[in-house]
Amino acid sequence: MNRRKILALFLLSTLFIVFNMTVIRAQDPAPIKIGVAVAQSGTASAFGVEQVIGAEIAEAYFNEKGGVNGVPIELVFQDAATDENGAINAFNILMNQENVVGILGPTLSQQAFAAVPEADRVGVPVIAPSNTAAGIPQISAFNARVSAPVTVLAPIALRTAVELEGVSRAVVIFARNDAFSSSETVLFQSAATEIGLNVASVLEYETTDTSFDILASDALGNSPDVIIISGLAVDGGTLVRTLRELGYEGLIVGGNGFNTPNIFPICQEYCDGIIVAQAYNNQAESEINAEFRALYEEGQGKLPGQFPAQAFAGIQVFVESLIEIDNTVGLDSFGDDLTALRAALNTTLLSLEYDTPIGIISFDPDGEIIQSNFYVAQVVMNDDNETGTFALLVSVNLEPEAEATEEPVSTPES
């Protein structure tokens, strides 16, 4: 066989392979895009980077299980930063340019009040991963949240502090320029009154503040045995550090902004002993939480906190709802009608129950999370003063239409 024939056969075989690969690629289903708009920059990035990790774990986890009946999901990330404009811009890009079916985000409640109306206008379902302020689900019929509201968490934290530590005189401090903190402190103050705490003073600051000497001195001047703080991780951790450096030895109860290990490098050894109520604890016993915990620890070298777990749960809600739609009417039936698919997804996700790392959850008609299991933990810092754990103090079960039951944990686990 001469060289020309050999070359011709080689070219023909190459073309055949390329053609077949092209056909195979053409047959692969296009991934379903889900948007993630959380704080990857700014002061709220202490939460947002954890949410990115949780969402990425969910993407790999559910695609490994077949995605949506064989169709993979693809997460599209946009940095929502820490302000309202950042969230609005991220939402608009995801909805109008990336054509996602739904959005997980934003990180802060204040951002949600600004950005979710944009999603409502377009008709895109949104799942809030960490928006705990009052009124979040009611912003839009297209908005649900997998983050428990402060109406649940604040009373649990304070009640535990009183029962376990015997405190009686409180100072309340909150970040006035943050919608979540302003909402949470109202619940903290109300709960404090209901359980008989003497609130000696209520003090305010802004999340952009970097020096807390005067504020901390004012707080200590009221001789509290418990200080209740509603703020974000960076400012809250700095405030804790200042209080301890000025000699405060009493109890500190932190709000939901303290629910991240990213606070540990900020207040360091002074984080030790902070009490915080949680909607997630990594020691909760369930198959999916064990899988999530193992995947997170494998990738990050530490145990997960609440923010990545809630982000995972939010992606799970989208995926399992899309599977339900495909099983009942078929995703193919929507063709190129993205508006109809988004509407169907919003209706479906409100109707299902989900077994997630944060427990078994569902939603009421407004999109408010229905969750039974909560926890109270206390920070225990490691010897390096940079890392620590949330040691479980109490498990709380809030069954619908029933009183809360508390189960003290005799041997705290991290």
pLDDT of residue 2: 55
pLDDT of residue 1: 52
Tokens of 376: 């109270």
Residue 392 has pLDDT above 80, yes or no: yes
Q: What is the pLDDT of residue 398?
A: 78
Provide mean pLDDT across the span 201-210.
Answer: 95
Task: Please spell the DSSP secondary structure of 91-128, one letter per residue.
Answer: HHHHHHTS--S-EE--SSHHHHHHHHHHHHHHT--EEE
Encode pLDDT of 67-115 as tens digits: 999 999 999 999 999 999 999 999 999 999 999 999 999 999 999 999 9
pLDDT score at 23? 41
Closest CA to 74 of 32, 112, 103, 12: 32
Q: With 70 as the cut, is the pLDDT of residue 10 above it? A: no
**So what's the pLDDT on residue 165?**
85
β 354-356/359-363 pair status: antiparallel
Distances (CA, A) of 294 to 18, 31, 307: 40, 26, 16
pLDDT score of 403: 40
- Cα 22 to Cα 39: distance, rounded to the nearest angstrom: 39
- DSSP secondary structure letters along 138-189: GG-TTEEESS--HHHHHHHHHHHHHHHH---EEEEEEETT-HHHHHHHHHHH
- pLDDT band per the 50, 70, 90 thresholds, residue 407: very low
Residue 279 in tokens = 């909607």
Q: What is the pLDDT of residue 21?
A: 46
pLDDT tops 80 at residue 200: yes
Closest to 272 (Cα-Cα) out of 289, 283, 257, 258? 258
Say if pTM beats, i.e. exceeds, 0.85: no
Number of Cβ within a 10 Å radius of residue 93: 15
pLDDT, greater one: 310 or 183? 310
In which region does residue 140 sit, left (phi positive, over 0), alpha (psi from -120 to 50) or beta (all else)? beta
pLDDT band at 283 (very low <50, low <70, confident <90, very high): confident
Q: Is the pLDDT of residue 13 over 80?
A: no
Domains of the chain (ranges plus CATH)?
32-147+285-371 (3.40.50.2300), 150-278 (3.40.50.2300)
Tens-digit pLDDT profile for residues 49-58: 999 999 999 9
- Nearest-angstrom CA–CA distance, 296 and 290: 10
- Helices 306-328 and 45-64 cross at an angle (nearest 10°) of 40
pLDDT on residue 28: 77
Examine the pLDDT at 408 and tell me if it is beyond 80: no
Report the number of secondary-structure helices (H) and strands (E) in the chain: 12, 16
- Give pLDDT, residue 43: 86
Q: Give residue-wise pLDDT tens across range 250-278.
A: 999 999 899 889 899 999 999 999 999 99
Pair 55, 247: CB distance under 8 Å: no
Q: Could you give the percent of the chain with pLDDT greater than 90?
A: 75
pLDDT of residue 163: 87
Q: Calculate the average pLDDT of the chain.
A: 90
410 has a pLDDT exceeding 90: no
Residues 357-378: pLDDT tens digits? 999 999 999 999 999 989 999 9
Q: Are 201 and 155 in contact (CB under 8 A)?
A: no
Q: Taking phi first (over 0 means left), then psi (-120 to 50 degrees means alpha), and beta for anything else, what does residue 291 get? A: alpha
pLDDT-based confidence at residue 5 (cuts at 50, 70, 90): low
Chain segment 122-163, per-residue pLDDT in tens: 999 999 999 988 899 999 999 999 998 877 888 888 988 888
Average pLDDT over residues 377-381: 94
Res. 24: pLDDT tops 50? no
Are 303 and 389 in contact by the 8 Å Cβ rule? The answer is yes
Q: How far is CA 231 from the centre of its chain?
A: 16
Q: Is the peptide bond before 106 cis (omega within 30 degrees of 0)?
A: yes
Tell me the average pLDDT across 351-361: 97
